[in-house]
Amino acid sequence: MNPTARELLDAAARTQVADDIDLLPRISARLERRTLAQTVRARPATAILAGLLALALLSGVAYAVGHSLGYIPGIGLVEPGSELRVLAEPVVVERDGITLTVTQGLASADKTVLSFRVENIPESALARDYAEGETPPPTCTPSERLRLPDGTTLSPTGGQGGGWQLGFEFRDTFDPLPADVNQVTLLVPCLLGTAPGLAPENWEVPLAFVPAPPDLTVVPVIEITPSPPPTVESGAGPAATPAPSPISIERTIDLEDGTILIGSFHSIKTSDGLATSPYVWYVRITDADGNDVPYEYPSDIDLPAGDEHTSSWAYKIMGKDHAWPLTLTVESMDATLPDTQVSFEFDTGPSPQAGQEWVINQDLNLGNHVLRVLTATRNPDGYGFSFQGDGAITGLGVEIRGFSPYVAPAGGGGGGGDGSLSAGVAYSGSVPEGQLTVFINSVTINVPGPWSIQWEPKGAAGQPAPTSTPGPAACVTDETWAQARASVPASVPPDLSGRLVFFGPNADGTKYGIITYELADGTREFVTEGSWPIVSPDGMKVVFMGNDGLAIYDFASGQTLNLPGTDPTDYRMVWSPDSGQIAFIRSSTDRVMTINSDGTGQRQVRDNSAVYHALVGWADSDHLVITEPGPEGVIIKSLGLWDGSTSDLFTMSSNKADTVVSQDGQWIAFTSSLGGMLGNGLYVSHPDGSQRTMVAALSGRALYFPVWSPDNRWLILGLPDPDDPVDGIAQALVELSSCRVIPLPDLGGEVYSWGREQGGP
């Protein structure tokens, strides 16, 4: 047999890293030192909805429109018929430049819901980063409350939230307000992520509730009772006999951009008499053509806590034009064997040493499964055991009775896909020795399905399935890209000028480095070893990453200048419009730096360590363009070269974006996620966000580092190569004025930049 690279590396790592390491005790100890009680918010899931769900199931109607619940986007499910009250208006409180905005609020008979957002937390107020091994500094996790006029306070009973470095947003659920209480105060002791004393604390935000206006949007919740019968397909598990479905759909909410499905997973009995866990690892949703349907987890649906019989779920199906019906499929479930008295023995002998191994090779019968105990190994603080299962066993625990381990009541372990398993026990005191009896417990079995259930909107049956999902208008789409690859010979158009600089191998493949390609005559030249080559706007030089730091190659002289004081972690270089300076990121210390093109004048522009900024270009001779994560997506910012001041330019609706500024600073190209689609788009605009145009919209594909032509007429886009979808990158030329899409011929590498014609404008 030939091991794979992964197996060999795993084998190499296994020689030093045992299967049964357990970091939990040490992590727990360090967490306790961080005064866990101050940082953890207790938010037991509300049980109110469980009762509502149970009531809803009594309707006995296949599809019944909301005589039970309604849905308010951002708020969640609300009880019908109750007198709803909403915030009189959003409330904004500002302190030291930080704003806290209560954006939404609702009081109903069963709960109170508040959404609030905090923005503009200064970087200086954030808890400092800490080095490995250092005790983490105290950091605020807010424990907000609602104070009523009589002084009583309510703590959240549920909710969700998240942050983006300089701000955060929470949606909290509280117990219902008394009917006669309309004035409350939101108390926020401290701001998420800040260090004590560095940002305003003890925020008090007065809130007023008023009766909801008649036009308040309450989307009807459609009850589905009973659930459609299960579609049980063949499988080794309970499929052989009719069984209750482990998945049910109980509610749907029809929205403009999709549909929320709410339902439950249920424990079922297998043919072995085992009860499966109702907690399911993954659900696949497909349309009638078998295509995967994208879905999200709605953040405003509070689900009831599960138990050993049932767990709840909510998915938002993205889009409305699907080939109906949709099928929700559960491929497998887990079941735990009843505790057995199955055990094996081994004798450590006197004074066993760490690392000592005993070969056991004993088969154990666990119900219908056979487990072979392979070895026992003495660890410094206990024992580790290796097993070979039949593939169905996915986890087990071990216990040496009479001795109390400190890791867990019984050591645990997991399995690999090949049936191999491991488990261990560790002790804080003396480790048992001699003739030992090891009991096997907590054996988890994978029960294969599949189980599936179908759903379609009322009235969808009989409707023709859409043939395609219309996408936004763009030059590069799945369709135009496929057409271009099929019909256009891969060649560089003759009207292009300048020099492409790319990364690739030399002629005999012995070196990788920087290669130039003259568009005028097709001359190709390997220049030097290195990577990430960026041509200066005047087309005369190229800066690149060398082995020891940054370097500049001068096309005219053929000389390479190693930039002094740069290091191998420097990257993301961008030239100033006059070709006199280079800005770059020093990743070893998280700094934005600049250096003159003659190697002099290296200096730090910004400490990037508190908040991550990507450097994307120069706006003019005095300002860089950077990006920063924000509440609505990535913010494009201007960064003053001399005073470090920043100002927002505009926000992209994407959590992560590749952004490139044109060589003259007049345009930016940026990738962005597409709303409601699992894909990426590419846009161009001026740096202030004006004249924004979509250039590419691709479903389920990434786009890489666009490259501007010197005259801003063309872009080169990197796209996954259909012929090598894992590692291959294909590049395409896109003419912005005409939307012409031309596959770039294989130049033997990846184009990084496009230099102007020598002597050109």
Nearer to other proteins, 539 or 749 (CB): 749
Q: Which of 333, 268, 266, 262 is nearest to 303 (CA)?
A: 262
Q: Are 421 and 387 in contact (CB under 8 A)?
A: yes
CA–CA distances in Å: residue 474 to residues 161, 323, 712, 734: 34, 24, 18, 11
Nearer to other proteins, 11 or 179 (CB): 11
For residue 339, the cross-strand partners are none
Shortest Cβ 494–other proteins spacing (Å) = 26
Residues 548, 400: Cα–Cα separation, whole Å: 55
Q: Which CB, 193 or 498, lies closer to other proteins?
A: 193
Return left, alpha or beta for 96; rule: phi > 0 is left, psi -120 to 50 is alpha, else beta.
left
Output the smallest distance, CB 668 to other proteins, in A: 17
Measured CA to CA, the distance from residue 667 to residue 650 in angstroms comes to 13
Nearer to other proteins, 12 or 208 (CB): 12
What is the spatial distance between Cα 2 and Cα 4, in angstroms, rounded to a whole number? Answer: 6
Minimum CB distance to other proteins, residue 568 (Å): 7
| Residues belonging to the chain | 761
Give least dist CB 356 to other proteins, A.
17
- CB environment 235-258: b (16+ within 10 A), e (fewer): eebbbeeebebbbbbbbbbbeeeb
Distance CA 370, CA 128 (A): 52
Nearer to other proteins, 165 or 182 (CB): 165
Q: Is 749 helix (H, G, I), strand (E, B) or coil?
A: coil
Structure tokens given for 649: 């330019």
State which residue, 4 or 430, has the beta carbon closest to other proteins.
Answer: 4
DSSP 26-47: HHHHHHHHT-HHHH----PPPS
| Nearer residue to other proteins within complex by CB, 568 or 760 | 568
- 63 vs 612, beta carbon nearer other proteins: 612
What DSSP line would sit under 463-513, residue for residue?
A: SPPPS-------SEEHHHHHHHHHHS-S---TT--SEEEEEEE-TTSS-EE
Report the nearest approach of other proteins to the CB of residue 84 (Å): 25
CB 221 within 8 A of CB 77: yes
- Give whichever of 33 and 692 is closer to other proteins, judged by the CB atom: 33
> Would you say 301 or 684 has its CB closer to other proteins?
301
Of the candidates 104, 110, 102, 106, which has an alpha carbon nearest to the alpha carbon of residue 46? Answer: 110
Burial (CB < 10 A; 0-12, 13-18, 19+), residue 540, is: middle
Considering only CA atoms, which of 43, 46, 106 is closest in space to residue 78?
A: 106
- Minimum CB separation of residue 210 from other proteins in Å reads 30
Shortest distance (Å) from residue 222 CB to other proteins: 24
The pair of structure tokens assigned to 20 is 């049964």
Q: How far apart are CA 251 and CA 57, in angstroms?
A: 10
State the SS3 of 133-154: CCCCCCCCCCCCEEECCCCCEE
Write 651-656 long-range contacts (CB < 8 A, 24+). 652/683, 655/629
* Shortest Å, Cβ 215 to other proteins: 31
Smallest distance, other proteins to C-beta of residue 191, A? 11
By beta-carbon proximity to other proteins, the closer residue of 455 and 752 is: 752
Query: Which residue in the block uniquely carries the two structure tokens 């030399």?
Result: 506
Residue 85 or 171 with smaller CB distance to other proteins: 171
Phi and psi angles of residue 480, each rounded to the nearest 5 degrees, phi first:
-65, -35
Is the Cβ of residue 209 or residue 502 nearer to other proteins in the bound state? Answer: 502
- Select from 426, 384, 362, 321 the least CA-distant residue to 676: 321
Contact between 606 and 612 (Cβ < 8 Å)? no
What's the sign of the alpha-carbon dihedral 681, 682, 687, 690?
negative
Identity of residue 739: C
The β-bridge relationship of strands 98-107 and 531-535 is unpaired
Question: Coil, strand, or helix at residue 124?
Answer: helix
Taking the least distance from each CB to other proteins, the nearer of 17 and 556 is: 17
**Residue 222 or 333 with smaller CB distance to other proteins:** 333
Residue 184's nearest CA partner among 232, 156, 146 is 146
Beta carbon of residue 313, minimum distance to other proteins (angstroms, whole number): 9
Nearest-approach distance from CB 573 to other proteins, in angstroms: 12
Q: CB of 92: closest distance to other proteins in angstroms?
A: 22
* Closer residue to other proteins, CB minimum distance, 229 or 722: 722
Cis peptide bond upstream of 226, omega within 30: yes
Q: Rounded to the nearest whole angstrom, what is the least distance from the CB of residue 565 to other proteins in the complex?
A: 17
Smallest separation, CB 487 to other proteins (Å): 26
d(Cα 275, Cα 268) in Å, to the nearest integer?
5
Please, what is the minimum distance in Å from the beta carbon of residue 192 to other proteins? Answer: 6
Distance CA 203, CA 144 (A): 9
The per-type count for the chain, helices as H runs and strands as E runs, is 5, 53
Smallest distance, Å, CB 757 to other proteins? 24
Q: What minimum distance in Å lies between the beta carbon of 709 and other proteins?
A: 17
Identify which of residues 120 and 141 has a Cβ nearer to other proteins in the complex. 141
